């Protein structure tokens, strides 16, 4: 294969003006052919151009790829619950940039109100919060949505809370401080998506 006919993942991100997660969704949906070379993907430029040409009438060109059904379905909805505004804002911004639809709540009751109004794919909740703690939020959330996937983030991990989290069937348990790539990887795993790796991962 000639390098001039194939694009790396980074080149595709720049060419399509989309993020890494959207490229993974396009691969998974079979929209753009990709060849695995070691731990990296390679894309035939003529295949990318052909896909862009065929998708333009429905998508309006590459500028509307993100979030469109043509890229593999609606974006997953995530609810972030944390009483610390800095943590809420950081997680919300990071997950939004990774092409998720994100809402945030500063306490358990507010989170449950949102869950009664909106169907979420993933709940990310702090464990220790004033009033209603994270485990209580999870128990109540499961009454509303039994199959809801959950990730716990906490700076106060104990063996008892970890055991209860396992019993509640959470998909991830992260202790603060955590690196942002860890939360993105945990979210991808919880949602059954490809986990970003070395080729373009954060």
- Supply φ then ψ for residue 167, to 5 degrees: -65, -30
DSSP secondary structure, 152-170, as one string? EEESS--HHHHHHHHHTT-
All structural domains of the chain? 3-71 (1.10.1660), 77-190 (3.40.50.2300)
Query: Which tokens hold the place of 63?
Result: 């500028």
pLDDT of 104 reads: 95
Question: pLDDT tens-digit profile of 139-173?
Answer: 999 999 988 999 998 877 666 777 777 777 888 88
- Segment holding 90, helix H or strand E: helix 85-97
Region of poorest pLDDT, from 10-14, 27-31, 165-169? 27-31
Q: How far apart are CA 138 and CA 135, in angstroms?
A: 5
Question: pLDDT tens-digit profile of 188-201?
Answer: 889 888 775 544 44
∠ CA 137-91-86, nearest 5°, is 90
pTM score, whole prediction: 0.62
């Amino acid at each position: 294969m000639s390098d001039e006919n194939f694009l790396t993942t980074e080149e595709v991100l720049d060419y399509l003006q989309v993020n890494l997660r959207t490229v993974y969704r396009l691969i998974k949906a079979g929209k753009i052919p990709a060849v695995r070379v070691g731990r990296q993907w390679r894309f035939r430029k003529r295949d990318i151009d052909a896909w862009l040409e065929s998708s333009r009438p429905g998508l309006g060109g590459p500028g509307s790829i993100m979030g469109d059904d043509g890229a593999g379905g609606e974006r997953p909805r995530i609810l972030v619950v944390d009483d610390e505004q800095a943590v809420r804002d950081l997680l919300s911004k990071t997950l939004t940039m990774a092409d998720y639809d994100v809402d945030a709540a500063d306490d358990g009751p507010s989170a449950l109100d949102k869950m009664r109004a909106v169907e979420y794919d993933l709940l990310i909740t702090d464990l220790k919060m004033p009033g209603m703690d994270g485990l209580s939020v999870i128990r109540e959330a499961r009454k509303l949505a039994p199959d809801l996937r959950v990730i716990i983030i906490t700076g106060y991990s104990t063996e008892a809370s970890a055991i209860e989290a396992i019993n509640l069937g959470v998909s991830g348990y992260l202790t603060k401080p955590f690196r942002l790539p860890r939360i993105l990887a945990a979210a991808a795993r919880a949602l059954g998506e490809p986990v970003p790796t070395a080729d373009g991962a954060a």
